[in-house]
Every structure is written in C-alpha cells, then in structure tokens.
Amino acid sequence: MELVTTPRIRYLRSLADEILHNYGRGRTVVAIDGPVRSGKTEFGDDLAAVFTERGHPVFRASLEHFHRSREEQAAFGPETAERYYSYGFDYSLLRRVLLEPFRLAGSTGFVTQAFDPTRDDRIIPKWITGPPDATLIVDGRFALRPELRPLWNWSAYLDVEPTDEADILYSVKEHPRRFATAVIDNTERSRPRRLFLDSC
C-alpha cells in the first residue's frame, strides 16, 4: 500500500532507496540510534513502512526488548548513569537470538523481543523466519557503542540534544555522530533532515 506523501515520508523514501541500492540483496541490519525522546522508535517504524511500500521484506526490533532486568543490573553496583550505559542491556542475548541467526538466513529462526521492560521480565521467545533478502531495523540507545558498530550495515544517529545523564555520558565518551552512516536532525519530526558534518 502506498503511503501518504509528506515531507517526512519523502525523506524516509530517500533513505530507503539509499539502503536498498547498497544492501538490497541478502540480509541487512540497520540501526537507528539516538537519545531518550529523540523519536528513534517512531523513526524506525516509519522507515520500515517505507520498506514495506517498496515491497521489500522488513523486520523490526528495539534494544528496549533486550534489557537486563533491574535485579541483574543491581549486581553491577549502585544505580548510576555509568552502570546503565555499561550494563543496562544484554548484548550477548541480542547477538545470540536475533542478530546472528538473522544473518544466517535460510530456515534459521530469530527472536525480535526477549525482554519486557514494563514487566521487568523475560518474554517467552517467538521464533520467526524470513526470506533470503530482508532488512532488520533495530532502534535503541547506545547502538553505536564500539562493540555494536560492526554489527550494522547502515546506521543513523538522530541528533537531538541529550537530556538524560546516560545519553550525555555516551555522547561524550563515544561520539556516536562520528560513526553513523547518516546523522539526522529529528528535532522537527515532520521534517527530518540530514546533517553533513565537517570532517576536518
């Protein structure tokens, strides 16, 4: 079904065309990074809708569904921004049940949700499969941290001023804008625009 053309959809179509031009065959993983309240989940959902409009198989996931439980996080010390940045998410689980099996393609199953942050509890896994040519769009905070960067074929960083201490720590420590394929000003969500950073 064709989406209603708005400035936002027109922009997302241009991103989808770029991604499909470079990674239209095989299994592709796209990351949408950004601070709290940057609109990354909505951005990922809308980008996925454009892929569907293009007739390209697409799957969605969020790092929010790969949290560690509050009890597991507490084992790493007092609640601080540093602790949350370092131990808030279970990246081993993310790789094991989602990213690695997704990339294997074929009949290998993968899981897009493993943890419910609202209930603070694991989710009974629902294993799904997809066609050989498909894109997985993953949104979430800290997606461009060093150990995750190699896992994405293409990435975007939504350049909204961070207000949460963990996001500020991440921004200062890892400089995610430097490593994103596209840095996007999503302050005005109806009209996102790409930023071209001075590399000098």
CA atoms within 13 A on the CB side of 94: 22
What is the pLDDT at residue 89?
98
Retrieve residue 144's tokens.
Answer: 């461009």
Which of 138, 153, 160 has its CA nearest to residue 91? 138
Mean pLDDT, the chain cut into blocks of 10 residues (200 residues total): 94 98 96 97 98 97 97 97 98 98 92 97 95 97 98 97 96 97 96 81
Count CB-CB contacts under 10 A for residue 193.
12
What is the pLDDT at residue 1?
77
What is the pLDDT at residue 200?
42
Structural domains in the chain, CATH included, are 7-194 (3.40.50.300)
What is the pLDDT at residue 199?
52
37 three-class SS:
coil
